[in-house]
Amino acid sequence: MGILIKNGYVIDPSTKKEGVFDILIERDKVSRIAKRIEAKDIDVINAKGKIVCPGLIDLHCHLREPGREDEETIYTGSLSAVSGGFTTICCMPNTSPPLDNKVAIRFVVDRAREAFCEILPVGTITINREGKELAPYGEMVEEGAVAFSDDGDCVMDSLVMRRALEYTKLYKKPIISHSEDKNLSRNGVMNEGVISTKMGLSGIPSEAETIMVHRDIALARMTGGILHLAHLSVAESVDMVREAKRKMDNLTCEVAIHHLVLTEEDVTGYNANAKVSPPLRTKKDISALIKGLKDGTIDCIVTDHAPHTEEEKGAGFDSAPFGMIGFETAFSLALELQEKGLTLMQIIAFFTTGPARILNMDRGSIKEGSQADMVIFDPEREWVYRKEEIRSKSKNSPFIGRKMKGRVLTTIYKGRVVFSLEG
């Protein structure tokens, strides 16, 4: 039995299709798209007044399994993801042990068979994420690794980073770089500035990011390797990427949703749930990031979903780990960017065609013959993000209690409803 979506307003950035259409799903594929479709003995979803778009893709998240199943698992993370409209997510390798070999990658792939969405593992750049010895890229690619990153840590040794870009080029896989000079950010817990000084907290200067962004771009230019810059947070970083892209076609970048809607001021009161890496920056930086989205400098928006237990986050601001959860709020928060001049088509593209293009994968579209991954959402529906309704195993979000507009109602993955707000 298939699914017939009736009267939905379809927005598909991959085909530029926009308008009211019916969509017929048979098995795991989109079989037909037309103004009017009639079918018998089929499940019908009335999407009148709602928007239908491709399933969202998250290029950057943390599922914690193996090793920290108390924070999140592949199963619970995928449940949280689909409730936020995500049908494909890429999990970072800073697990315990890290995803630095074929056995670890195979573990994720095997566990992902129970998940509610597609889980794509990212392997490490170096063994044990120590920044010294290159990981075995070939065998990890064979097991399903789609990219490589030491996320959470920067590869500080420039020669090692050069070799990584050279070798991964052979597999046509991107290096996802966490650009952070650890010598500058050492012991820092928030953005360096007036607020950090007033709060008596060690700061992380913007230069900790920009210095390494400059280096990584230079190495990508030198090697021809595929470089993707993770979670840009600083205006100068955006400027450097913009300039580099004029001469390079092997460079992409992302921004995490929280760096678009929160500033360093949200740390006031020592709110550990707002402690992230890179840290929340300034209003000036947000303006630059949004400009980067508008002009195509930034390729996609990510969640950087990073679960932690309440005990960890409650250990005091200095001691609390970096990171916040993001699957269930990311898209709704992104819809707020329409007030900053982004169109709905553009916002959807940053979660679909953008990441799909970076990974060179056939996802993020609604067309006949494509995998039936899609989201139905109500752009006008107001809702409050409540702790007791969070589907992630962890609850570390600064957005709890926030009123938002725009809500995912239904998520379809491979032709099957994997999330319905109405039950």
Element (H, E) at 87: strand 86-91
Q: One of 28, 304, 362, 373 is an active-site residue; which one?
A: 304
3-state secondary structure of 162: helix
Look at residues 46, 38, 81, 75 and name the one whose alpha carbon lies nearest to residue 61: 81
Look at residues 385, 268, 392 and name the one whose alpha carbon lies nearest to residue 332: 385
Look at residues 76, 30, 13, 14 and name the one whose alpha carbon lies nearest to residue 5: 30
CA distance 382 to 335: 12
**Cα separations (Å) of 266 from 233, 301, 357, 421?**
15, 20, 33, 30
Tokens describing residue 213? 């962004």
Residue-wise burial string across 43-62, b where 16 or more C-beta atoms lie within 10 A, e elsewhere: eebebeebbbbbbbbbbbbb
Q: Is 304 a catalytic residue?
A: yes
Q: State the burial class of residue 400 (Cβ atoms within 10 Å of its Cβ: 0-12, 13-18, 19+).
A: middle
Instruction: Give percent helix, percent strand, percent coil of the chain, each to the nearest 5.
Output: 35, 25, 45
CA distance 359 to 343: 24
Q: What are the two backbone dihedrals, phi and then psi, of residue 219, each rounded to the nearest 5 degrees?
A: -70, -35
CA distance 323 to 307: 7
Strands 3-12, 17-26: pairing kind: antiparallel
Residues marked as catalytic: 304
